[in-house]
Structure 1
Amino acid sequence: MLHHPCFLHLQYPILVLLLLSVRPDAAVADGGEFIFDGFSGADLNLTMDGDASVADGLLRLTSGRLSFLKGHAFYPYPLDFTEVSNGSSLASFSTTFLFSIMGPYIDLSSHGLAFVLCSNKDFSSALPGQFLGLLNQWNNGNATNHIVAIELDTIMNSEFQDIDSNHIGVDINGLISVSSATAGYYTPTHAFRKLSLTGGQPMQLWVDYDSNQAMMNVTVAPCCLSSKPSWPLLSVACNLSTVLPGTAVYAGFSSANGVLGSRHYILGWSFKLNGEPAALNYSALSIKTIQELAAQLQYQPHTNKIKTIILCAALLPTVGIAIAVSATLFKLHMKRRLDARRNQLEWQREYGLPSFTYKDLLIATSGFKDKMLLGKGGFGSVFKGLLPHSNRTVAIKRVSPESKQGMKEFMAEIVILGHLRHRNLVQLLGYCRHKQQLLLVYDYMPNGSLDCHLHTQDRNLCWAQRFRIIKGIASGLFYLHEDWEQVVIHRDIKTSNVLLDGEMNARLGDFGLARSHAHGADAHTTRVAGTWGYIAPELARLGKATKATDIFALGVLMMEVACARRPIWVNSADGEPLALADWVLAAWRRGSITDAIDPRLDDYVEEEIEVVLKLGLLCCHPSPNARPRMRLVMQYLDRDAALPTDLQPDTLLMSNFDVSQDDNEMHEQHAMSCPTTAITDLSRGR
């Protein structure tokens, strides 16, 4: 009976299944869990395409042989992310993997790789290069993509607003990260250690998503640490149930090359739904192989020098032709220089600002070295500088030349801030235009930005300082709205844009989004600009900035200064987002509005702090018609006028609330009920 043909026909598939079940390098998902302690064998339980392959126990997503290639590797079976206890949300998950990125040079790579969760693992229409083999220019950012990715990116792409060329970001349906940070990890003493994603050294990454808290943590560290760092590199509030379908989710990796050929490796991978993934067996992984490949990379620059010499010798005839052509173009070049000089003189006559030379600013910042860097924003970096002739300390903003929005900011700062003079505004000293370089020079503010003093535990401002700062900002905004020859709408009032001088006086800065118009005219803005949490409801709906939208942001800032809380934060009790105005309003309803203040304050004047909090709520009224103008705000703060007697918590919710004004000019007509406001990370701003 053992030799019956039917039995023999069934025997071999059973034997194959038994052999697969005991393979050490791969495990089939059991309850949403699998682990790969290395990769080997032609029958590996992965779906691969493009340039992806398996060799020497490594999953190689891109081989580096050619440019503009992409590679994908996915666990072949869809995972059921449906949360059993709550069918409307997505299950929690955790994953960890070891990876290595090797470029043709020790310090240069060509784009990176990404861990991916998606509803469809067909990426045939995706592009390599900056699109990481995930998307293309037509579908990038579409909500129908149903993609969540953790990008390990080694190229700074201005079109995707990358922060640098060595970062980790969380991407949802597009390659503009909802949150990103320079690659690195925190030691047990909370010291930050930067990591270089290029160079080939193996590193480990963890992704932990808690569906109950709607929070994702991303952690990275060098290979084989004794334990996972306790502090994540990124902690992002996101509800993935609105992105992924739940019932059929694929997990895997995507990678792509650009002009340079790079290699991207995965050494091991562990994944689990609703729990911690199984620990990787480091002894079973091809770590030594990766380290040997990385060691070879150390000598790659010398090899390339030889190649460069050979290439230069081959190109000598071409160089000769280029010299001949350059002689023909010399006259045209001189004409362009003359035109550029004429344009520069016209620029100076029109805007009346002194122009700094690029050489002086280069000397002032020691060549724009990192040690002189004060901070980075969305459209450039700010450096501390010491002017060589006057020995004056200044702040120099270097606008990114690749950013069209950066050019608009540069123009706005010169056109508007260059003409403003007020003790509570940052003073623009001048500018420099050198080829593609755009630089702005300001007074240096030694005490940094206001948000650092409010939201850092080792710093604290007494109430007298905070009240003087509030009055200073209000004075500066009154000058912009009513006291200058034109009306200036700032459009981005927030604590990170308030700088403190040597005597802790407030200076409102960053006029890159500001717009001006004549008194009695209308502001011509149709695009939402600013930072969530400070954006008035009518601005979020219509995109129309007015004096009333600035006053809304001022009200949020006043409460933030008094309470030392972000405009929006996640409530630790229930995990839900909470607005600062609601926090203050709730304290007032309970009977004491001062219960909402910063607990570190113990020397405040109760009458002053009540005025600040109640005035902050009034400035944040849902109806723009109910918000006071800056002249009246100044009178309230100076105690020259009393707040309305009928100002109560319940009346602040009424869209038809009426506030008496001391002038006859009417508010812009944008009254409406308050919509739900989108929430993003406020910690970095622009």
Structure 2
Amino acid sequence: MLSDCNISPCFSISMAIGFINLLQSSLLIPFLFTLPFVTSLNFQISRFDSNASNILYLGDAKPSVGAIEFNLINYINRVGWATYAEKVPIWDSRTGRLTDFSTRFSFDISIQSSDYGHGLVFFLAPVGSQIPLNSAGGFLGLFNTTTSDSSQNQIILVEFDTFENPEWDPTGIGSHVGINENSISSANYTRWNASFYSGDTADVVINYNATTKNLSVSWSYQKTNNPRENSSLSYQIDLMTVLPEWVMVGFSAATGQYVERHTLQYWEFGSSLTVAEDTSGNKARNVRIVVSIVVPVGVLIAGTIIAFIIWKRKKHAKRTPETTNLTSMNDDLERGAGPRRFSYTDLASATNNFSEQRKLGEGGFGAVYRGYLNDLDVEIAVKRISSGSKQGRKEYVTEVKVISQLRHRNLVQLVGWCHDKNDFILVYEFMPNGSLDSHLFGRRSPLTWSVRYRISLGLASALLYLHEEWEQCVVHRDIKSSNVMLDSSFNVKLGDFGLAKLMDHEQGPNTTGLAGTIGYLAPEYISTGRASKESDVYSFGVVLLEIATGRKSVGPGRKSDMGLVEWIWGLYGTGELILAVDDKLGKEFDEKQVESLMIVGLWCAHPDYNSRPSIRQAIHVLCLESPLPNLPVKMPVPTYQVSLSSVSSSEPSVTYSSMDLGR
């Protein structure tokens, strides 16, 4: 019986749309037999001549002696594009087919001095794309501050990046080859010594396999060879989910404050897809016939189903707000790519029924377990929210909704989620080296200085993405050393987004209620309950000081009753910062980096939020690209009035201790 069926509104809408699409497809089939097919695209160019029309040039790029010169070498901040004049089919919506493609090209980058940048890129982008404004330098002629990691992007690129930009490039490896998806940050990368190969010609092969969804790149040099470096790279990606059906293909090269010469000498390209295009004189008449039939029938069907949906929604209108929120979240996530929904049975099996032997840690809202998914052949960390924790469930919903939208190499990846009845579970990628606090204050192996400094830059990069580079500003609200996770190579992965808040980039401090962990909370946040980028920066500053000193911000393990910020500020005033360095380091540290790290930590933890830097300003100083700030010799006092009402009006969520793998 129809009345006994439990049909969700989203399912009903999908059913209606699917029926209408089926009807349209059936009516269009007779006309498809008249459509000619465009053959797949293949070309080979061994010489680039100025009178040829098969290459389009933008910016500084131009043909020169049979090759393409991309940049005016005597000028800074330049961009050049060279693209193929015809559009390229990547996939076909009529057949659902995706193309294989292969491209080969030869290029060289000649470095003129010890300072050089920024690199050459092969890219696929929407037809009609233009050079973005302010895209020189590290943006490689393809992005700018607005588009560097935007969800609106539709671009795939392989970059030969000669300059390390700490805001988005892999930390500590210098120049690199990377494969990028919709972002200036590389999804996969490997070290590549650009200066070693200067002036030599590189032969590059890029292949995409539509069956395995594998994009691979390999390169070799005609004269020089470095056996210690990788010379290939691959990345799993479904181009149908990233690119439009038709794209432009080509190259971009850019310089910034430093310059280098980029030259393309040879290019060939081949794809396998044939696409139907209607060029017959009856096209307009065919369309009118189809529309005249489909539209009335479609409207009738859609109207009937929408009426049914409205009835069903009224029937389910009495659901609780929490159930409604979870159902909405399920619908949103299951329609998109990214985290997947797991059954409770899957996760119980993965963790040996959540056994104590698998437990990694326990916090205020639940426990974290180590698990293994046989079908994915991957280790996971499983966070199980306590069944009686109302606040934990609220944070569960927040975390799934926020982190499932974020993509950055320094953020923990959410693998999936589960809420069956009263069980609320989050599934993350497993971090073999645990949390930062376990190395600084616990029994895990102590960290070398170079690893600590790299961790600081990685955490800064994550915060820059959250505050400035994503489409909305994300205020984390709980940055602390126990939420800084470390992968097998000690790369930073910032986690625990249960307290995060989304705000517009132009929006000021937001009254959210007090949340976070004592010792990391900015004074004005404690007073007013207003979360902001500045309060996140304060927490970041405290973590920097913990990294340098190996001492907790507050609580057990502190060598005095004085707070960490106050103690280090006192040493700064007397010129004795070096006395605060972690004893476990001995003399094995870079004194200039130590000074920079601690002074930036104090700057970020300044009691007056108006005197704190943005995270971008902090990064420039950490990378020794900007001078150290001049801070007061004595620690200032906050310049605001305490407002008890603003705190008591909101529900607090404050943690007093750190746990391995988060709260």
- Give TM-score scaled by structure 1 length: 0.45
Structure number with the bigger relative contact order (C-alpha 8 A, sep ≥ 6) is 2
Provide TM-score, normalisation by structure 2.
0.47
Task: Give the greater-gyration-radius structure (CA).
Answer: 1
